[in-house]
Chain A
Amino acid sequence: MNPQRRRRLLWVLLALGASALATALVAVALQRNVAYLYTPSEVFAGEAGNADRFRLGGMVEAGSLQRESGSLVAWFTVTDGDATMRVRSDQILPDLFREGQAVVVTGRRQGREFIAEEVLARHDETYMPAELAEKMGKAHVKHDVPPAAGRVD
């Protein structure tokens, strides 16, 4: 092999090795940090499997928000019309968090309850996140949950 070819081969091998390493790293990082979105009925149907950490989406049930007095700990219920799940949060709830509105909570399941790490309500007061609206589309037809467009004025 002449030196020019050898150098080129070396470069190609180096590039292959680097991209293999990059792919592996990206795959691992993605797998570790992906959080799927489930509604309470999907959670109880076992669709979340034994995912360590996932996102729970639905509407905050009217009248369900309770606080332990003098502390930040709050309990509320997330519903998709078919099933409900109690959520515990020990953080300041976002400005747009309101009963009867859409919410997406990232956290861990503990039995029939959900321990929140992060509570997200939408930036915009009139719309429900598209992914959530799509998931809950069927529930809206059957139950008394605000319609898919998410208008809750």
Chain B
Amino acid sequence: MLPELGQILLATALLTALLQTVLPLFGAHRGKTAWMRVARPAALVQLLLVGAAFAVLTSAFLQQDFSVRYVAENSNTLLPMVYRWSAVWGAHEGSLLLWSLVLALWTAAVALASHRLPLPVQARVLAVMGLVSLGFLAFLMFTSNPFARLLPAPLEGRDLNPLLQDPGLIIHPPLLYIGYVGFVVPFAFAVAALLDGQLDARWVRWTRPWTNIAWGFLTLGIALGSWWAYYELGWGGWWFWDPVENASFLPWLAGAALLHSQAVTEKRGTFAGWTLLLAIAAFALSLLGTFLVRSGVLTSVHAFAADPSRGLFILAFLAVVVGGALLLYVLRAGQLGSHADDPRRGFTATSRETLLLLNNLLLASACAMVLLGTLYPLLADALGMGKLSVGPPYFGSLFLLLMAPLVLLLPFGPLVNWQRDQPSRVLAALAPWLLLALALGVLAWWRAPQNGWKVGLGVAGALWVAFGTVRFAWLRLRGNGRITAEMAGMLLGHAGVAVFLVGALLVEALNVQREVALAPGQSVSVGRHEVRFEGVDHREGANFVADRGHLRVFRDGRERALLHPEKRRYASGGQVMTEAGIDARLSGDVYVAMGEALGNNAWAVRVHVKPFMRWVWLGALLMALGGFVSAADRRFRTTTRRTTRSKQE
């Protein structure tokens, strides 16, 4: 009975979303207060309904109800309890339901937090979010029903993809979705402003914390995915420029640009049109990512099913939502927000506006570059140019080229004044630090065992960003001693960039990899490390059997760790999975993965030494934290209250 209840809940949620879209939109258009007031309760009811549907599907997994097709395909009786919870979003249908749930959560949060905004703004924003929800619920109901029955019910289900049976993957999708879907808030506000025909700093100020939080979650989600790929795939890489990774990275880049341009629009009133466009782009890229991943046009672990009707549906939905928003933009943006007499407008080449403009230009170009590389194989195929793939060096080299000026300019950003500044003043403040960073870079280049110039550039770049950030903080503390939450968030984010640079560039430069055949007792030395293979034993897990290797790691002759990489064979499908053994330290990882047995007790073993590997994720963590901290700034709340109060008086 329960699955049918789930369907009814979804259908009711669909109707509620329809109400939430149509009535408030017309109400706002016609000035009918009663119609506009439908939006908030509708948003809350929708959360209840979708949440209940999600609970129903979860309970079907917990009770192992194999009469539900989706449950039968993605779990079995051997599946450990914790993965029964996460299997709910382990494949296509459930992950879409999660998408809808996250959207309902964001919508309800906006409904609760927006009660101080003018009613038409509130109504329009919630209506736009309702429209998005409508699309996804319809998609769920008509092409990907998670509650479809499988009768007669099988006695045993298939299995959750063993790749996904991992603690990191339990929370990766929810975090990623909170980020992805969170960009719906600035999107809805942009569309509402365009519909309204007026844009003031009010909506920008109001949406800034939402953008920051969404971007922070997206950062966490991507970092977690990268961390998982690192230890689970057994290749020792942390970013592969895989189309699906790119699909999540595109909205991240657009979101990072949006964060900065929103700050300018809110504080200076400029870049308004660009900010609106970026808000639309960030969410459009989230939808595009969903389309790429879910439609099966890409083959990857994330592309669950290649059902053409699904791809077509998302594509049509994408066209309606994004096309509609862009059309609205073209029609309305010209009339918006350009107060030519605003004294805050206008800026010279040496101003913070210019630097933030460059920031946006570089991030947007990087985004376009990644988008092109990701879609190029699809385009080429459609044009009959053959089946091709774009190699990681395309992304790597161009990304580095675009990010290098960003890194160079970053420390200037916070130090330069709005509108105009003396270049000499800022240069005087930063020049010693630039020289120090360069000198240490040269030292690192000279000391590096390999890839000297890469190490030097990495060290110099990371230190330059770190010094610049510290310099700014120190100047503030010495000045009036006040650092607002917004500023602290910025500092954390920029410090995150510095830490990330250390990780990404030094791992790239200093990584050493060996693939060798080892018999018990033999060892392989990699730089200062020595790894001794001591043999393999058997281990039985809940739903797999594993060959577990014992490898002892020495550094300069001193023992550091005993690693246990595994080769697992899952009982259900016979699928083989590698679990890497990692000795993780802040100074670097020793990473061991087992290949196949070569006979005579010998095994193929892959050993990586990866200095500063942890810094990649530490940097991402700091960036995400920066987003959260700056969203907590009291100004975002108090000012809104003041503006609205003055409106009511």
- Spell out A's residues near B (CB within 8 Å): 22, 25-26, 29-30, 32-37, 55, 67, 69-72, 90-93, 95-96, 122-125, 127, 129-131, 134-135
B382 CB within 8 Å of chain A: no
Given A70-B517, A123-B163, A124-B161, answer yes or no on A131-B387 (Cβ-Cβ < 8 Å). yes
B299 and A92 contact, CB distance less than 8 A:
no
B391 and A34 contact, CB distance less than 8 A:
yes
**Assembly CA distance A32 to B396 (angstroms):** 13
Interface string of B563-584 (1 = CB under 8 A from A): 0000000000111111000000
14 contacts between A and B (CB under 8 A): A26-B372, A26-B398, A29-B397, A29-B398, A67-B598, A69-B599, A72-B604, A90-B515, A92-B515, A95-B576, A95-B578, A123-B163, A127-B299, A135-B387
Given A35-B388, A72-B604, A92-B595, answer yes or no on A22-B575 (Cβ-Cβ < 8 Å). no
Residue from A34, A67, A92, A96 in contact with B389 in the complex, judged by beta carbons closer than 8 Å? A34
A22 to chain B: which residues have CB within 8 Å? 365, 369
Interface string of B249-280 (1 = CB under 8 A from A): 00000000000000000000000000000000
A131 to chain B: which residues have CB within 8 Å? 299, 381, 387
Give the nearest-CB partner of A37 in chain B: B387
**Assembly CA distance A34 to B599 (angstroms):** 38
Give the nearest-CB partner of B302 in chain A: A123
Looking at the assembled complex, report how far the CB atom of A61 sits from the nearest CB atom of chain B, in whole angstroms: 18
Residue from B301, B391, B397 in contact with A35 in the complex, judged by beta carbons closer than 8 Å? B391
B388 and A36 contact, CB distance less than 8 A:
yes
B401 CB within 8 Å of chain A: yes
Given A26-B372, A95-B576, answer yes or no on A72-B391 (Cβ-Cβ < 8 Å). no
Given A25-B401, A34-B391, A131-B387, answer yes or no on A95-B604 (Cβ-Cβ < 8 Å). no
Residue from A30, A69, A91, A135 with most neighbouring chain B CB atoms (10 Å):
A30
A37 and B389 contact, CB distance less than 8 A:
yes
Residue from B234, B516, B574, B576 with most neighbouring chain A CB atoms (10 Å):
B576
A33 to chain B: which residues have CB within 8 Å? 390-394
Chain B, 137-170, CB within 8 A of any chain A CB: 161, 163
**Assembly CA distance A13 to B516 (angstroms):** 56
B452 to chain A: which residues have CB within 8 Å? none
A32 to chain B: which residues have CB within 8 Å? 393-394
Residue from B398, B600, B606 with most neighbouring chain A CB atoms (10 Å):
B398
B595 and A72 contact, CB distance less than 8 A:
yes
Given A26-B369, A92-B606, answer yes or no on A71-B161 (Cβ-Cβ < 8 Å). no
Give the nearest-CB partner of A54 in chain B: B388
Give the nearest-CB partner of A30 in chain B: B394
A25 to chain B: which residues have CB within 8 Å? 398, 401
B414 CB within 8 Å of chain A: no
B365 to chain A: which residues have CB within 8 Å? 22
B390 and A34 contact, CB distance less than 8 A:
yes
**Assembly CA distance A25 to B394 (angstroms):** 10
A36 and B595 contact, CB distance less than 8 A:
no
B300 CB within 8 Å of chain A: yes
Chain B, 66-90, CB within 8 A of any chain A CB: none
Looking at the assembled complex, report how far the CB atom of B200 sits from the nearest CB atom of chain A, in whole angstroms: 27
**Assembly CA distance A71 to B516 (angstroms):** 7
Looking at the assembled complex, report how far the CB atom of B409 sits from the nearest CB atom of chain A, in whole angstroms: 15
**Assembly CA distance A33 to B381 (angstroms):** 16
B598 to chain A: which residues have CB within 8 Å? 67, 69-72
B390 and A93 contact, CB distance less than 8 A:
no
B296 to chain A: which residues have CB within 8 Å? 130
A96 to chain B: which residues have CB within 8 Å? 575-576
Given A72-B516, A123-B163, A125-B573, answer yes or no on A36-B606 (Cβ-Cβ < 8 Å). no
B541 CB within 8 Å of chain A: no
B312 CB within 8 Å of chain A: no
B386 CB within 8 Å of chain A: yes
B515 and A91 contact, CB distance less than 8 A:
yes
**Assembly CA distance A35 to B296 (angstroms):** 21
A29 to chain B: which residues have CB within 8 Å? 393-394, 397-398
B373 CB within 8 Å of chain A: yes
B602 CB within 8 Å of chain A: yes
Looking at the assembled complex, report how far the CB atom of A9 sits from the nearest CB atom of chain B, in whole angstroms: 15
B376 CB within 8 Å of chain A: yes
7 closest A-B pairs by CB = A92-B595, A33-B394, A33-B391, A37-B387, A123-B301, A131-B387, A95-B576
Residue from A29, A71, A93, A134 with most neighbouring chain B CB atoms (10 Å):
A29
**Assembly CA distance A30 to B369 (angstroms):** 10
B306 CB within 8 Å of chain A: yes
**Assembly CA distance A19 to B202 (angstroms):** 34
**Assembly CA distance A35 to B556 (angstroms):** 42
**Assembly CA distance A30 to B600 (angstroms):** 46
Give the nearest-CB partner of B578 in chain A: A95
Residue from B373, B386, B575, B577 in contact with A37 in the complex, judged by beta carbons closer than 8 Å? B386
Residue from A35, A37, A67, A72 with most neighbouring chain B CB atoms (10 Å):
A72
Residue from B163, B299, B598 with most neighbouring chain A CB atoms (10 Å):
B299
**Assembly CA distance A96 to B161 (angstroms):** 13
Looking at the assembled complex, report how far the CB atom of A81 sits from the nearest CB atom of chain B, in whole angstroms: 17
Looking at the assembled complex, report how far the CB atom of B331 sits from the nearest CB atom of chain A, in whole angstroms: 24
**Assembly CA distance A60 to B194 (angstroms):** 56
B604 to chain A: which residues have CB within 8 Å? 72, 92
